Structure 1
Amino acid sequence: MPDLGKYASDVLAAYGITAALLLGLIALSVVQSSRVKKRLKAAEERRKSDG
């Protein structure tokens, strides 16, 4: 790891915040995808039963 000098804590904090935000966005995307898949499957089942 490069020597960051007096800015080490700021840089590492920025990396940590960025990683947390990226993980949060990925988790949100996975949850939202799951919900949409469920709704799509339900809509397809209704369509099959209607006609």
Structure 2
Amino acid sequence: MMMSLGPYASFIVTSYAAAALVVVILIGWIALDYRSQTERLRELDRSGVTRRSGRSATDTP
């Protein structure tokens, strides 16, 4: 089934390709940032840093 996009076919195809490229770039950026953040959290955990929200209200700082 071949669709006829008319005289604006190149604009339509380019627009869809650009949108797909932006989505792929954003997915890659999020994946790399996720890896970076989890590695940073592992480093902090290994160095003994804990979350303040993990303490109870009766604990002394």
Q: TM-score range by the shorter chain?
A: 0.7 to 0.9
Gaps of 5+ in 2: 50-61
Q: Which has the higher contact order (CA 8 A, sep 6+)?
A: 1
Give the equivalent residue in structure 2 for 1:21.
22
- Structure with bigger helix share is 1
Distance 1:38 1:30 in 2: 12
Give the number of aligned pairs: 48
Distance 1:5 1:39 in 2: 52
Distance 2:11 2:33 in 1: 33
Instruction: Provide the identity percentage.
Output: 25
Gaps of 5+ in 1: none
What TM-score results when the alignment is normalised by the length of structure 2? 0.73
What TM-score results when the alignment is normalised by the length of structure 1? 0.86
Structure showing greater Rg: 2
4+ aligned runs moved over 4 Å, structure 1: none
